[in-house]
């Protein structure tokens, strides 16, 4: 039976991502949905994007765009984030490319990586019983009318149920307990992998949860077993 597996904010943690996917025993018929923030803070943002592109081109990944992904391209293009992006994780991203002999500031951002973020990644994804966004959604608006500032930037703030009746799965608001936060109609799976937390994968149909750290440490559980995040 195929599974829909949602993965939280990765933030350059390639080893945690690979460890997590091995832990869930990913099958060809499974669908991965990643909720954005692939870059910044962790040791290998470039490697994370390569990994995601491979899964996308193998037709197994639905990637969402996160605010850190937007900030990175804006900064490298000389936009409003140019002066502050490096201080909030961008320097680690630049270093991951420099180790490959690429200086994104001097040489430009690799074209395939840019196209992945700008074109392959989507603003949101809607399934039968769930919908997926990076940060948040307005409870009363149709999906195609959701404003960018809310989808990419708005913190959790105890969101009310969406008018569609579908369960929201999001990231963005780091749960520093290391546990995903569920309030029934909404689940946050950003569990602070770049801090002292974990990278989380959720089976959206069953509530099964797998987690991994960059160190290779793993743990498993069920969504209704976890204490409240925070």
> pLDDT for 49-78, tens place per residue?
999 999 999 999 999 999 999 999 999 999
Mean pLDDT across 173-182 = 96
What pLDDT score does 227 carry? 67
What are the sequence ranges of the domains in the chain?
A: 4-225
What count of other Cβ atoms lies within 10 Å of the Cβ of residue 16?
27
The CATH number of 4-225 is which of 3.90.1170.40, 3.60.21.10, 3.40.50.720, 3.30.70.3270? 3.60.21.10
**3-state SS, residue 103:** coil
Kindly report, residue by residue over 1-26, the tens digit of the pLDDT.
Answer: 899 999 999 999 999 999 999 999 99
Give the percent of the chain with pLDDT over 70: 98
Question: 66 near 49, Cβ under 8 Å?
Answer: no
Residue 228 pLDDT grade (very low, low, confident, very high; cuts 50, 70, 90): low
What pLDDT score does 92 carry? 98
What pLDDT score does 123 carry? 98
pTM for this prediction: 0.97
Mean pLDDT across 96-125 = 97
What pLDDT score does 230 carry? 46
**Max Cα separation, the chain?**
49
Contacts of residue 106, defined as CB under 8 A and 6 or more positions apart, other chains included, come to none
């Amino acid at each position: 039976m195929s599974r829909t597996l949602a993965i939280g904010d990765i933030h350059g943690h390639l080893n945690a991502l690979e460890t997590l996917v091995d832990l869930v025993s990913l099958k060809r018929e499974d669908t991965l949905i990643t909720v954005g923030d692939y870059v910044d803070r962790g040791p290998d943002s470039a490697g994370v994007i390569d990994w995601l592109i491979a899964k996308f081109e193998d037709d197994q990944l639905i990637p969402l765009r996160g605010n850190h992904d937007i900030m990175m391209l804006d900064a490298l293009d000389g936009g409003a984030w140019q002066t502050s992006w490096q201080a909030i994780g961008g320097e680690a991203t630049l270093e991951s490319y420099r180790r490959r002999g690429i200086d994104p500031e001097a040489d430009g951002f690799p074209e395939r990586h840019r196209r992945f973020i700008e074109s392959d990644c989507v603003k949101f994804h809607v399934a039968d019983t769930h919908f997926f966004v990076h940060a948040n959604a307005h409870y009363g608006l149709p999906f195609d009318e959701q404003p960018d500032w809310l989808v990419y930037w708005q913190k959790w703030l105890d969101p009310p149920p969406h008018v569609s009746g579908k369960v929201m799965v999001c990231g963005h608001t780091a749960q520093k307990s290391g546990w995903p936060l569920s309030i029934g109609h909404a689940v946050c799976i950003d569990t602070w992998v770049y801090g002292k937390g974990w990278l989380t994968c959720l089976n959206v149909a069953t509530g099964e949860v797998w987690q991994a750290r960059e160190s290779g440490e793993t743990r498993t559980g069920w969504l209704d077993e976890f204490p409240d995040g925070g």
